[in-house]
Amino acid sequence: MAFATKLALGDVSPDDCPPLLEPEFKKNLDKIREMVAPLLSAEATGIKLDEDKCTGCNNCVVVCPVDVAAEPPTSEGRAAMSTDTVFRIENGVSKIINLEKCRRFPPDRLNCRVCEQYCCTDAIEIW
């Protein structure tokens, strides 16, 4: 169970389990690799940002608790101007400029999903 949790968090890969590498478990290994593939394609936080869907509405900037702490005027709806925030709207679309500051980033891995919750166009998805 502990290994499964670590696998889900992205701390280990299926190949880190020696018994799975044995020939008789090949089917299981392939299946598990298939299951965790989306996790491997996501960022370390599990956040995926589709710039084609983004309208640059600033919702993610204003609602992100890290951004509010890093640049307090964003809490009142102002655009992020510093380089200290997680999100910033650049050239009309949202960019993640400090992924490591996200509350989902290891080692904290808090289950914060507010950016996804208030992204009206579904440009932000969390795996």
Partner 1 sequence: MDDVVCSGCSLLCDDVSAEVSGKSVSSLGLCKLGHTHLEKVVMLKSESIEKKLEKAVDILLNAKNLLIYGWTHTTDEEVQEGLKLAEMTNGHFSSSTNLGPWQAMLHSIHSEGLAIDLEYVRNNGEFIIYWGSDPSESLHRHSSRFAVLPRGQKIPEGVESRTIGVVDVRKTETMKMANHRLIIPAGADAELLDVILSELEGKSVVKDKVLGIPGSELIGFVNGLRKSDCTVIFYGSGVINSGKYDSNLSGISKLIKAIRKTGKEAYALPMFVEPNTMGVIKAISQEEDDALQRMASGEFDVALIVSDDVLANLPNIAAKALARMQTVYVGLSGGFTDTKAKVSIHTNDPITAGLGTMTRVDMKEISFKKWKTRKEHSTIRDVLLKMQDIIRGKKA
Residues that bind partner 1 (CB under 8 A): 54-59, 61-63, 75-81, 88-93, 117-122
State which residue, 6 or 113, has the beta carbon closest to partner 1. 113
Task: Compute the distance between CA of residue 116 and CA of residue 94 in angstroms, rounded to an integer.
Answer: 13
Pairing of strands 93-96, 87-90: antiparallel
Task: Provide, rounded to whole angstroms, the least separation between the CB of residue 53 and partner 1.
Answer: 10
Smallest distance from the beta carbon of 66 to partner 1, in angstroms?
Answer: 14
Tell me whether residue 45 or residue 74 sits nearer to partner 1 (CB atom): 74
> Any bridge partners for residue 87, and if so which?
96
Q: Taking the complex as a whole, how short is the minimal distance between the CB of residue 123 and partner 1, in angstroms?
A: 10
**In sequence order, which residues have a C-beta less than 8 Å from that of residue 90 and are 6 or more positions away?**
97
**Least Å distance between CB 1 and partner 1?**
35
CB nearer partner 1, residue 6 or residue 95 = 95
Q: What is the Rg, in whole angstroms, of the alpha carbon atoms belonging to the chain?
A: 18
Looking at the Cβ atoms of 13 and 55, the one nearer to partner 1 is 55
Residue 73: DSSP 8-state: G
